[in-house]
Structures are given as structure tokens and as C-alpha cells.
Structure 1
Amino acid sequence: MKKSVIALAVSGLAIASVQAAPQANTFYAGAKAGWASFHDGLTQFDAKKNQGEGFGINRNSVTYGVFGGYQITSNLAVETGYDYFGRVRGNATVDGKEKRVGKHTAHGAHISLKGSYPIVDGLDAYARVGAALVRSDYYSQQDANGEFTAVKKDRKKAHNLKTSLVLAGGLEYAITPALAARVEYQWLSRVGNLDKAIRKEGGSSNKFQYSPDVGSVSAGLSYRFGQGPAPVVEPEIVTKNFAFSSDVLFDFGKANLKPAASAALDAAHDEINKLGLAAPAIQVNGYTDRIGKDAPNLKLSQRRAESVANYIVSKGVNPANVTAVGYGKANPVTGNTCDAVKGRKALIACLAPDRRVELQVQGSKEVAM
């Protein structure tokens, strides 16, 4: 039955797409209610040879509580709360009628670490481990001969405080970023100590040890404070430009890289890597000076751009991300500064800035906004 309920909860709640975990450095508070059952230690009461034919145990009861927490990270929180952990009752036949002749109730504060793990959007599985300071209250109605009685003056009371281990696990579903629902199974180990409680009240030591475990299934709602819009992760576009003199990379009128060109291109490649871009797009643009005819200059600039592009690819860059374009005489940077220069050698020297290869690098890296 429990497995069927949990399976239905998972399949039904997994439809939405809200992040289940609250944002870090925020607080939450909530309430829960469910059903508890006391285990172990109770078989000593069940023995008919000790308690008579008409004695019985009611182990099950409601449980409820409030809780709050601080979300350290999206997957780790410190949670505290106060619970009524439940009660167990002893019933016996007295004067031909079934009467309540004994009861143990448990309530107290608890603190635990809560770790979450996302299953699907909007749904987390979580576990808690911690400790609870539990107050156990006991009463029984027995006369001086140890016989069960319905007379109130024969009621004996006792109580004690004891620390118990708390283990819990469950599912948490974000209805909205600020409102969450949870279903949880919680286990308390060795709650209370009847023998010590009786001796504290001046009674004689009990002939059996009664310190039961308490298991409970509950459902709850919590409100998360300070839940603004979820952080939006947007790509940061980064652009970087490099310019190389063709005279550094190539001999005049040639498209084969000089041996010394590798140093300049390797330095550029290292800078590109340091940018930390995801699959950067690299465009290599080749230019010549204005000396000579347009068609040969266009072909020369294209071959030079391809030579540089091939070198970059040889360093491990994806060829699909590298393009090479030759522009020939276009886009000179010298303007008309060399118009009055006389002589071929002097003109070649003056127009050196126009003979260049430019790298345009563009890519994105994820940043939290």
C-alpha cells in the first residue's frame, strides 16, 4: 500500500517543471501531520501470562509537528522542529469493560541535516539525519496489588527526557518557487526509558525495559522565504581581435608561413584558450597592399588567410569553427599617407601596415546573472 501511494505521488508530481530545491542562504518553515506507530519493547506488555487475558496494545496514533530550516546550499539544509511523535495505549478489561489503563506519549524538539537530490524538474528526494530531545509521559492505573483498575486515584504518572536518533527520508515537490509539499517517513530510535522514569518518581525498578522505536509517515507543506526569480544563466559574448603584419608571417608576395611565424601565432592561440570560450568562432582575414593588380592580390590574400587558418587548426581547433577570407586591397589602413612616396622600395615599406592578417575571435561562456 505504501509503495503504491509513493509511486502515484512521484508520477503525479513529476509533471511540473519548477526547481524543487530552494535557493541557498534562505529560510523555510512548515507544518506536517500523519500517522505514527510504536515498535519494539511492547511485546513485553503483550504477554498474556504477565498481564491477563484481557490486556491489549494500541500502537498507532496521529502525529503532527512544525519545522523550519536554513538552506545552506540548494542541496543541503539544517532543519529543526517540534513534533508530537505519537502515543501508545494499553487497554484492559476492568469490571467487564475495556478500559484505558496505561499510556505513553512522546513529544519534543529535533535538529538534523537535510540533503536533497533532484529526480526530475520540481521533485527532489531527500534524507535527514539528526537527534531529538524527547519528553516521554507515562501513566498507568493499577492498585496496590498491581491489578488494573478504573479508579482515577490509582493513576500513577512519570516522565523523563531522553535524546534519540532521528532518521528520515522523503520526497519534496515545489508547487511554486515559494511553496513546497513533502511526504516523509521518519524513524526515532529508543524513545524514552520507562524504568528510569518510574525510579525517578520513587517507584521500584521495573522488571522489563521499555524504550520503543517510533516510525511515522507524514505529509507537510512549507513556505520558503526570499525566493526571487530563479537565477537566469545567459551567455556572455566575448570578442577578441588579433592583427599580424604579413611581413612577420610571410615573405613579400608569398603565402607560405615563415619559420618565425609560429611564435606569433602560438601566442595568439594561447590567449584564445585563456578566454575559456565554448567552441569559439575564428575568422581569419587576409589583406594586401595596393601594389599590383586586384585579382592577384585577392588570390594572395586568400592563400595567406588559409595558411594561418590551417596553422590554427593544426593546434587542435575544430576546422568547422575556422573560416578564411581574402579581401585583397580592401580596407587599407594607411589611407593616403603614402601617396607622395617615390620609389618602389620606399612605397613597399610605407604600405607595410596594409599587408596584414587579422583574426576575429567570438564565443560565449556561461555566467550567472
Structure 2
Amino acid sequence: MKKRALAIAFLLASLVASVQAEEKNGWYLGTKMGWSQFDPLKHITNNKKTQNDNLQEKFSAPILGLFLGYEFNPYFSLEIENYTNGFSPHLMFQKDSKEEQHNNLQLVTKLSYPITDDFHLYTKLGGILSWEKLVSKNDLKNIFNKESPLLPSFSLGAEYIFNEKFITRLDYTWNNSIKNMIDSSIKPSLGDAVLSFGWKFGKPYLDDAFATYDSEESNTKYSILNENINFSFNSSELKPNSYDKLDQLDADIKKMKLKNVSIILLGHADKIGNKEYNQKLSEDRAYSIKNYLASRGFSRENITVQGMGDSYPLTNQVCKDIENRSLLISCLAPDRRVEIEVLSDIQ
């Protein structure tokens, strides 16, 4: 059993090395620790001991494990985990220690709900199978029936991401047997309270997506027109003169009879306010222009939106010594903008 656990750890480490070398996006790796059969809601049962009670006693122990995941977007990820239930270092060299430890494999989908860029709530849905059951032909034959050794799992948790790289999580997982679910039992067989730490490696998925877009689009399309639209302080509403600029842009595109037109909208905000708020504001500004262009007949699928937050100011050092808020807001006006780039094939 120890050899198998070491082999799994080596496999995960190898995957990290190979994926990091290729600079893939969205990958993350971490470790988890906690307690299995941690039940915050005590259930009142009769004195009759059931098979489910034996299962609880057997797995009530500390856990330690590793997980590897891939984040497709801010809302959806896939994870594979290997963890040892009943991890007891002082027993690991005893011959009967295998009775105290159980190695499990878990595959889950993770659905996240971003509260801010750094703080997310999430749920995980998946299944757990012990390695002993996984290599047993008899158990695998029963995996799709009522006596299945697979334990479906459901998790609720929260995670915080430091510096866009380091992850810390706290979650609680309910595990139940197929038999209990079929019998409409509301009492889970097992529960895990877990604290996890992880690390994101490779390029962020958004950076990689736009790098791919740039490399592919720039090879086939060329910048034809450019325009900047400015916004009022703390606002994503279009100014009256902005409509005139956008209408003229629409007229120029039609006059040039461009084909296969695509439009890139890069939203920006000034430095006043926190990072999360400015990121959202810059996106809202870009979407307000996208919505107007769509109302003019442009295909929404051909309009790309990206919020840049306050990362690329035009004022730079010009306004740094201004302390008066009103004067500062006026000075930073050029930063409150959306940059519009129109791309088209060569005629």
C-alpha cells in the first residue's frame, strides 16, 4: 500500500513537471489535510448498530492527500485527488498499519461562484473509490448497481487566492453510498472537514486565451480602424458624444465595405478605488459599447471584450502629486476609456 501511495505521489509530481514545462494554462496542484467523519450535525439513531455505523467507525480518522486540477474558466474545473484516510505516521512502519489506513481516489467537477477576483465559493460533485476496490474485478463489476463500492460525494467550500497563484481552501464533503441514496436515506455515510493549500502554475487561462487570439487573429486580420471612447467618473454609461463617435465608426466600416470584421474592446478604469471594483467597472464599460454596436447590427460573436482594470493608465506620472480629489478625478479623465480596434481581412 505504501508503494502504491508513493507511486501516485510520483505520478502527480511528474504531471506537474511536464505540464509546467509546456506552460499550459489553468493547472493547479495542492495538498489537503483534515478529519474524515467530522459530523457537525449529530444524527439521533437507535441503539441498533448498522453496517453504515461500522463504515463510519472504520473511516473516522485524520486524512492527508494531494490533488491536481484544471480550471477551464472561472466557474468550472476538474480535479483528481488521492488521499489517505487514517494517516498515522507513528503506525506507518507497523505490519498491521494497513488496517488503519485506506487509500482513495476521487474524481470531481468543481463549480465556482466568484464573489471577488480572489475569493470564491464553490461546490464539488464527484465520486470516491478506494484503490483496493479499484483493482478488484469483483467490485468493479458491481460499480453500477445498488451495492456499488463507489461513494458519490458533494462538497461546499470557500477558497482565497493570494497573488493569483497560491490557493487556500476550507470545505466540508458529504459522502454517501449508492444503496443509501436509492433507499432515500438523508444521513450521509461519511463527512470530511478539510483544509487545503494549492499553487497555480502556467499562464492564467485568460492570458493564454488572449495570447491565442492575438497569435491567430493577427496572422489573418489587420487593424483597420481605431477609436477611444471616454466615460464619466464611476460610470459605465455612454456620453452623448460617444454615440456620435460610434455611429461614425459604423458608417466608416460600411463605407469601406470591409469583410469578416471583428472588433476588440479593451475597457479601462482610473486608479481611484480598489482593484476588484475597477476591474468590474472596466468590463462594464466595454460591454456597454458592445451592446450598442450589437444594436447597430454587428454580430456579438465578432466582438471581443476584455476588462483591463486600472493596469494601463495614460496619465501615468502626470497626476501622481495631486491630492485634491476633484482635481485628481479631472486629471485622470483620459484613463476612463474603452479602446476600440477594428480588424478585417485584406481586401
- TM class by shorter chain equals 0.3 to 0.5
Bigger Rg over Cα:
1
Between Structure 1 and Structure 2, which shows a larger proportion of strand residues? 1
